[in-house]
Amino acid sequence: MEYHTYPPSESLAPFIKCYWSLEAPLDDKPERQRIVPDGCMEMIFHCGDLYKQFLPNNEFIIQPRCFVFGQITAPLEIEPTGVSNITAVRFHPTGHAAFVSMASAEMENRAVPLIELFGDSALPLEQKILTAPSHTHRIQLIESFLMERLHLLSANEIAKESVKLLFQMKGQISVVELAQRLGISKRNLERRFSQEIGLSPKQLAKTIRLQVLLKILNQSQSSSLTELALECGYYDQAHFIKDFKEFTGLSPKQFYADNLKMSNLFIGTD
């Protein structure tokens, strides 16, 4: 499995965290991969074979070839059906709102085909991406398309500032305090988050807090899990385990015994 990240252009850096590519050969015994929430939407182009996406009842659907995946609020399980060859955009938490007019809440936990988001203008982009000779060429095509979209929509400044604060505080701030710092009501802040980000402020704070903890664990296994949980803003071990299970579907012990190759690639990447 080869995974690489690429920086966006200066013009798109306020909206895009990175581009990434993933290539993997056909596996005779493909394994499910678990993806956990990270607060960022992604635009995915499957230039190889498609992926299965498993549903809560253990049935599955086949993902579209080109789509934007909305905010995920629970662990997502996927599995390749053949050769993986993916080029993708990882937006900042508010970044997608500069290009997509659909309310973020309508996209939650689903892969939305590009044609549903952008209409017929998505078709030429998809055709060019799928026939482009390399990830670099595909990224250039994506950048051109997004630059053309940029003047049509603008990201919500209040939402952007609140997300910045949440990351600065590593998710360790209450929604009430966040609203007070921004000088707006809690209800207004929650409404803006629903429209622009697709998560509530509380959900994003919990996601950021867990991602901080996962990044530390991914870098070193020597820390006491209880001490680390307290350092990351959890009240106690029970609080940490409850949130951990909510976002990963597993206990911490099961999480690191499970097959998390793809999810671990994304933890803490820029």
Nearest to 66, CA basis, from 2, 132, 151 = 132
- pLDDT category, 151, cuts 50, 70, 90? low
User: Range with the lowest mean pLDDT among 89-93, 155-159, 238-242, 261-265?
Assistant: 261-265
**Residue 242 or 220, more confident:** 242
- Report DSSP letters for 207-251, one per residue: HHHHHHHHHHHHH-S-S-HHHHHHHTT-SSHHHHHHHHHHHHSS-
pLDDT in tens, 203-239: 999 889 888 888 887 776 556 777 888 888 888 888 8
pLDDT tens-place string over residues 30-85? 889 999 888 899 999 999 999 999 998 889 999 999 999 999 988 899 999 999 99
pLDDT averaged over every residue in the chain = 86
Is a pLDDT exceeding 80 seen at residue 169?
yes
Q: What is the pTM of this model?
A: 0.74
Q: What architecture (CATH level 2) is domain 2-150?
A: Sandwich (2.60)
* Predicted local distance difference test score (pLDDT) of residue 266: 54
CATH code for 157-266?
1.10.10.60
Asked if the domains 2-150 and 157-266 are classified in one and the same CATH topology, the answer is no
Give the position of tokens 């309508």: 106
Domain boundaries, the chain: 2-150, 157-266
